[in-house]
Amino acid sequence: MTKITIAKGDGIGPEIMDATLKIIMAAGAQIEIDEIEVGEKVYLSGNTSGISKESWDIIRKNKVFLKAPITTPQGGGYKSLNVTTRKFLGLYSNVRPCMSLSPYIKTKHPKMDVVIIRENEEDLYGGIEHQQTDEVVQCLKLISRPGCEKIVRYAFEYARQYERKKVTCFTKDNIMKQTDGLFHQVFDEIAKEYPDIENEHWIIDIGAAKLADSPEVFDVIVTLNLYGDIISDVAAQIAGSVGLAGSSNIGEECAMFEAIHGSAPRRAGQNLANPSGLLQGAVLMLNHIGQSDVASKVQNAWLKTIEDGIHTYDIYDETNSHKKVGTSEFAEAVIANLNQLPQKLKVVNYESNKVLQLPKYVRKAPAVKEIVGVDLFVHWSGEEAETLAVKMKLLKHESMQLSMITNRGIKVWPEGFRETFCTDHWRCRFKPAEGKQMKNTDIIQLLMRAADQQIDIIKTENLYTFDGKPGFSLGQGQ
Ligand code: NAD
């Protein structure tokens, strides 16, 4: 018996949760349920996080959370409960299977069967943003080695568990050589540990285009948070309907399972909604808690029901459907099909699956880290880089000299192009002068001299080498 936490959420949430629980209980799920309240009511009671402390305690105690969609009120500083839950509980892996159910559900891609595994905690989703000048704002993209190792290893373990043949990595490391470069590098390292599984890397833009055009060439895709967010919606949509997909959010200790759609408030309370997305989340949950026999039973009964043409309004069409049903009738039909197998769609059998056990991240020995320069970012409303270079040279440091100025990443000094558009946000790179060694305190001296000269330094970034390898990008055009 596994104790799980559920939240019925808002809009269509309560109806699809009731239908889902009814089906999995009828299939013999060995679960005990703790229910908590999250979402709209909690938000509107003045709690901007949408969840109480007591509810957190229950989620953390039970560790497995099945969540129906919630409504996040617009404006008013309400925080997305999904993002908070993922980050608080360290749910680093977002898994979304996207499989077409042709010919029963219309799709242009009848052979599609892709699983998107998205890194769930890092990347631009740290939401660390700053306005630095009149014209420029920034968002920090943070990628860590543990973050990359955990998600890439999860993807390969998942592939092995579900007898998948290939894992494809999507990045943009031709441009982001440090951040996406690390993800790709870790992918290559870990892929070597799984010689039984094919591996490949695609640049995200052409990869996404290929996924939208010929998804059948992909199997498991692992990618960074933002790319994964976008391509997993595309993948679910082209498989047939976002209303049919579920997802899991897996951490080292806790896990959360859900439908990928929202709370569809206009459909609420009318017994109209399709419970399939949340049911798919529940199937992922049953596999996660080691009840794979029940998961197989539910999935086969669900596939049979889709095949029988018993469809809710959102997937109903005159050619493929036989009967339009409401939420509770759909659940009854799935229950009546428990112990039956689909005839044309592929029968699933998860029964040999073991609960995925991933090793804990082991921190590597630190590299030899040496400081080799500093980028001073300057808010300056002038136009000529040459003029700024003259100002920066007034800092007259004994061991540091100006080596380059860039604007939005492109080199504008020395030898910039007159055509390059410049904003008021300049990066001035200082490196040790010929034959000089740099110290951290040199940066402080540069900053003090800049303050004396009334140069507005809005931030600094230190330049390091790690075991002799540069840990920073060159200026574009350098
Ligand atoms: P939505 O997914 O709720 O609805 C989009 C469209 O799909 C609507 O036409 C809706 O009627 C239909 N639809 C969605 N699920 C369906 C189902 N199970 N059966 C039949 N039809 C279904 O997206 P939205 O309208 O952009 O968002 C509504 C609310 O949901 C917002 O408050 C949003 O913040 C929230 N939301 C929550 C989650 C979550 O909790 N995980 C995810 C997305 C959106």
CB 477 near ligand 1, within 6 Å? no
| Confidence band of 478 (pLDDT split at 50, 70, 90) | confident
Smallest CA-to-CA distance from 432 within 347, 371, 359, 364 is with 371
Contact 449, 396 (CB under 8 A): yes
Cis peptide before 414 (omega within 30 of 0): yes
Q: Name the residue at shortest CA distance from atom 24 of ligand 1.
A: 262
149 CA to centre of ligand 1 in angstroms: 33
Q: How far is CA 71 from CA 13, 79, 229, 255, 257, in A?
A: 10, 11, 19, 21, 17
CB 243 near ligand 1, within 6 Å? yes
Could you give the domains of the chain? 1-89+254-347 (3.40.718.10), 108-239 (3.40.718.10), 369-470 (3.30.70.1570)
Burial 354-384 (b: 16+ CB within 10 A, else e): eeeeeeeeeeeeeeeeebebbbbbbbbeeee
CA-267 nearest atom, ligand 1: 11
- Strands 137-139 vs 456-466: parallel, antiparallel or unpaired: unpaired
Contact 44, 34 (CB under 8 A): no
231 CA to centre of ligand 1 in angstroms: 18
Residue 345 is predicted with a pLDDT of 95
Residue 34 has which token pair?
């703790």
| Span 198-245, pLDDT tens digits | 999 999 999 999 999 999 999 999 999 999 999 999 999 999 877 899
| Confidence band of 415 (pLDDT split at 50, 70, 90) | very high
- Say which DSSP state 10 is in: S
Find the mean pLDDT for residues 397-420: 94
The whole-model pTM stands at 0.93
Residue 281 has which token pair?
């989340």
> Is residue 319 pLDDT above 90, yes or no?
no
CB 416 near ligand 1, within 6 Å? no
CA-39 nearest atom, ligand 1: 40
| Span 261-309, pLDDT tens digits | 999 999 999 999 999 999 999 999 999 999 999 999 999 999 999 999 9
- Which ranges constitute the DSSP H helices of 195-291? 204-213, 225-239, 276-288
CA-277 nearest atom, ligand 1: 18
